[in-house]
Structure 1
């Protein structure tokens, strides 16, 4: 007879739970691609910082252009517009960098959807290759190399193995 104060006991199982597989280690090229994506995120952060540091020169150029066109702008309007631009740049820059790193982490864990997202982001970044004071070009080159690495044969096998290890077993 069982004691009602004790939790029920179940026999130990020697087989893994359905859908559970042995962990699959990422190949070296996936690890290299991960770190290249991290370098790309760092370059994006550096580009954001450089942009923020040089915003004063941009503000002065905007003010001169408005004055050269003979238009009157209320005092502080240019400063307010620049302040709003800086705020948006900081918020969206940080969100972009955080998402980029997060996708790289999921890619390294074998998430194929993250690999596809990184491919799309890399392709879209080709349109901004000249942005960021030369840092944009460096970030794009790093991203392209990382993206090529995650679509070569050992990486494809890794993503397939991770997917197979998560598939329910019959």
Structure 2
């Protein structure tokens, strides 16, 4: 693998005086697309929660009435709307960061691989500790596949070569 024309110790780097960029292996490409899929599935799951808006509001109304609360139906509807919008905004921000880390991973940044591994571990713990949807399970499974692919031997060589180039 180190004899490839795209690795820094290739003879072309000696003739030009500049290291040649490492060729991205299929394991890194696969990890990148697994993280993209995980992000998209997570966003779809976040958007689908809006389909449950009425059920969430009804459950909150029942809970409020049983506990002797004094919230009106309008206040409950407003609280549900605000909560859902805030949750969606947070999900979009997290997805944007996740995408940033995925693109940095694709570019050979080892720190991004570590950050994505930590985030995936947190997602897995969250999934195991609470309830989730089918999309949640599939999203975490895609992220786990991405982590595994990002630590396979070709990926390790790619990250090491990218670090040498910088």
Question: Which structure: greater helix fraction?
Answer: 2
Residue equivalent to 2:50:
52
Residues paired across the two proteins, number: 150
* 1:88-103 aligned within 5 A: 88-103=86-101
Contact 1:149 1:155 in 2 (8 A): yes
**3-state SS, counterpart of residue 26 of structure 1:** coil
Residue 68 of structure 1 and its aligned partner are, at CA, apart by 2.2
**Runs of 5+ in structure 2 lacking a partner?**
1-14
* 1:132-151 aligned within 5 A: 132-151=132-151
Measured in 2, the distance between the counterparts of 1:165 and 1:67 equals: 64
Residue equivalent to 1:11:
none
Cα gap change, 1:49 to 1:132, in 2 (>3 Å): farther
Contact 2:61 2:73 in 1 (8 A): no
Which structure has more relative contact order (CA 8 Å, sep 6+)? It is 1
Cα gap change, 1:119 to 1:34, in 2 (>3 Å): same
* 1:1-150 aligned within 5 A: 15-16=16-17, 20-129=18-127, 131-150=131-150
Residue equivalent to 1:9:
none
Measured in 1, the distance between the counterparts of 2:85 and 2:43 equals: 15
Of 62-71 and 84-93, the range deviating more from structure 2: 62-71
Residue 75 of structure 1 and its aligned partner are, at CA, apart by 4.9
Measured in 1, the distance between the counterparts of 2:132 and 2:101 equals: 22
Residue equivalent to 2:165:
165
**Runs of 5+ in structure 1 lacking a partner?**
1-13
Of 53-62 and 156-165, the range deviating more from structure 2: 53-62
Contact 2:123 2:140 in 1 (8 A): yes
TM-score after normalising by structure 1: 0.82
What is the RMSD computed on CA atoms of the aligned residues?
Answer: 1.6
Runs (4+) of structure 1 moved beyond 6 Å? none
